[in-house]
Amino acid sequence: MGEVEPSEAEQAGSLDDPAFQKAVFEQAYRQTCLQLDGGGGIATLSQITKGRSEAIDEVVADFASEKGAECASGCSFCCHQMVLSTPLEIFGIARYILDAKSETEIARLKERLATRAMLPLDVQSRHGADKPCPLLEDNRCSVYEHRPSLCRTMLSTSRSACETSLTSQEQRVPFIAEPVVISFLMQLGIDYALIKLKGLSTEKVELSRALLIALADFEPAFQTWIDGREAFPDCHVETGSGPSNSDLAESAAAQCGVT
């Protein structure tokens, strides 16, 4: 995954700049295509995610400093809500857990995931101080280096507002939008390559339910996805009449003139 340097965002002046949007999308797409030429196994796909995450982290660090983000180590107020992830992210997290954690640690995590997975798939039911992410341990993410892009780009300029939001649905949290937008464009470029070259599903799934499936039987679930079939049934959140992720990726490709 090619890096999107912080200076590029600064030079663009505005994220509404079509040229900047095209550059981010096309760079992600072209780099992913190059990596996929080497195969579509978990190692290759993990490298794609690793490169993307490193690029996002650079952008996040730049905007966090520039706009005064108050996020810090041990601050986990935003880790009490529904998280949507790509199948690629889910398999990357699962592979890390299976390789790095003990059987006892994995068993305990599965218990937490199962409890969380029983909640309805809606924002209200999965938000609150009593609903921490199952991956949290001592207020820190236990898969921090492998966390989804949504978690990587969650930047707030008010720690107190984040804390209050855990107990009040009315509390507005001032988020820094730029990393979210850049990450979204980057991910669409990656997704379009996965769709076009490999025929893979890029539709987002709820983290807890999907991760539980991947941890329970990794190889069959991964092979199901690689074969272009649904690996995570009952893990998708209904979006009404909104476009699917594949529709968004194809629309972005058309607008950017990427074929």
pLDDT the model gives residue 182: 95
Residues 140 and 151: beta-carbon distance below 8 Å? no
Residue 1 lies in a domain: no
Residue 56 lies in a domain: yes
pLDDT the model gives residue 124: 87
pLDDT the model gives residue 251: 95
Q: Count the neighbouring beta carbons within 10 Å of the beta carbon of residue 83.
A: 21
Number of domains in the chain: 1
Residue 48 lies in a domain: yes
Provide the Cα torsion 41, 210, 55, 98; round to 10°. -60
pLDDT the model gives residue 39: 78
Residue 36 lies in a domain: yes
Span 176-209, pLDDT tens digits? 999 999 999 999 999 999 999 999 999 999 999 9
pLDDT the model gives residue 171: 79
pLDDT the model gives residue 167: 85
When pLDDT is averaged across residues 31-42 and rounded to a whole number, the result is 89
7 pLDDT more than 90 = no
129 pLDDT more than 50 = yes
Residue 80 lies in a domain: yes
Q: Count the neighbouring beta carbons within 10 Å of the beta carbon of residue 81.
A: 18
Contacts of 13 (CB under 8 A, 6+ apart): none
CA pair distance 217, 214, nearest whole angstrom: 6
Residue 215 lies in a domain: yes
- Domain housing 99: 6-256
Span 228-244, pLDDT tens digits? 999 999 999 876 668 99
Taking the alpha carbons at both ends of the chain, their separation in whole angstroms is 18
Phi, psi of 118 (to 5 degrees): -75, -15
Span 43-79, pLDDT tens digits? 999 999 999 999 999 999 999 999 999 998 889 999 9
What average pLDDT does the structure give for the chain?
90
0.85 exceeded by the pTM?
Answer: yes
pLDDT the model gives residue 9: 38
Span 130-179, pLDDT tens digits? 999 999 999 899 999 999 999 999 999 999 999 998 888 777 899 999 99
pLDDT the model gives residue 17: 87
Residues 205 and 235: beta-carbon distance below 8 Å? yes
